[in-house]
Chain A
């Protein structure tokens, strides 16, 4: 099983190593090929909505940057995980820049899914989607919005199961481990 983890945290973040160690430990036991990407180390341009990937050369992005190595991983990922500090309820800009490029993974046609119009997935959808958000301190509004963004993405990625985890300064180290273990268990990653 292929896992793609897009990380928007810096290595200096106190959460970086804890989350990485625990996620890799949980996924490694499941015959997983794990691709952990530190987005800060990648040269990624923002999507300028040119439509090239839709109606000029479907499935190919016009930009020549490091997304070229991430797109094949996205296309073949059965487990997709986003990690990011929470910016106003959204992913931070580092991760958002990569997420905006996800439109390459969709078809320009439409389908009705869960009572809404969506672009169908170009490839097999990720079966499992998880997003992990980091807040300095608890903030109910931002947590609620982050869950909504994550939920909306799970829907537009057509993920079979999804989970959202939010950590803030009050969380203990063993609690991070427990939540990640339970989150992966909940998703049912085989």
Chain B
């Protein structure tokens, strides 16, 4: 089966200039090399609109591949992605998914893979439940360094990430499970910087920004005093 169309569900709720969009745009560009078209849908724009979700399902119908590209919100997928998954399960059947392949790209700010693992597993469970063919998931930390820019423009930091995404597209195009090469570059993505240094650097930046804005980072607007408790 030749792969002609990929439908991507984007999990970020922030709008257009996001890391999720950067990754999806990179995939779209890379798939062009395989003469494959990638269609983007933003989960937060479709889950509550029947017209849009129907258009999404129509695009899925003639897609060979379904890809979820999503950030991690509080250690799992954002609400709109879970809602779309629940709706898709109700609106489609196993026959719809039988010939389709599914994969996921998960990202967040944290360096450790364990902080993306549950989101990858949720995508995998979804794939199993609906009866699609699971190809695998990859994930990347350090999202704030990308900050919605095209991945190529970020430079060295996204070098291995781009290699992993290139391999990801190749695997998907060939309908193969994600290869060791894809995984190898995924693992090499985040440089081995000790966490205390990362913490120190990011806290300096945050505190500097807070000072400039004149805000109290440590405010406790909902703290009750002893008498109230």
Contacts and interface: CB of A to CB of B under 8 A. Distances in A.
A16 interface: no
A100 B13 CA distance: 11
Contacts of A102: 74
Given A49-B14, A145-B122, A117 B195 contact: yes
Contact of A112 (B199, B209, B216, B222): B199
A176 interface: no
Nearest to B73: A100
Contacts of B76: 90-91, 96, 99, 149, 152
Contact of A100 (B74, B125, B128, B210): B74
Interface string A91-126: 111001101101100011111100111000011000
A22 to B, nearest CB: 26
Contacts of B111: 117
Interface stretch (A23-31, A51-59, A158-166, A180-188): A51-59
A75 B223 CA distance: 6
Contact of A89 (B12, B44, B121, B199): B121
A89 B82 CA distance: 10
B4 interface: no
Interface in B78-92: 78-80, 82-83, 85-86
A92 B79 CA distance: 9
B113 to A, nearest CB: 10
A87 B213 contact: no
Contacts, number: 160
Interface string B161-183: 00000000000000000000000
Interface stretch (B25-33, B93-101, B200-208): B200-208
Interface in A78-95: 87-93
B222 A76 contact: yes
Given A88-B85, A116-B114, A58 B217 contact: yes
Nearest to A102: B74
Interface residues of A, number: 50
Interface string A127-148: 0000000000000011011001
The prevalent SS among residues of A at the interface is mixed
B156 to A, nearest CB: 21
Nearest to B222: A75
A47 B79 contact: yes
Given A75-B222, A153-B74, A100 B215 contact: no
A50 B14 contact: yes
A96 to B, nearest CB: 5
B213 A55 contact: yes
Contacts of A74: 222
A2 interface: yes
A123 B14 CA distance: 26
Contact of B14 (A2, A48, A72): A48
A76 B221 CA distance: 11
A124 B91 CA distance: 43
B19 to A, nearest CB: 11
A60 interface: yes
Contacts of A189: none
B74 A148 contact: no
B118 A148 contact: yes
Nearest to A93: B83
Contacts of A91: 76, 82
| Closest CB pairs A-B (n = 4) | A75-B222, A152-B75, A93-B83, A145-B121
Interface of B: 12-15, 44, 71, 73-80, 82-83, 85-86, 110-112, 114-115, 117-118, 121-126, 128-129, 195-196, 198-199, 202-203, 206-207, 209-210, 213, 215-224, 229
6 contacts: A46-B80, A47-B73, A88-B123, A123-B223, A142-B125, A152-B115
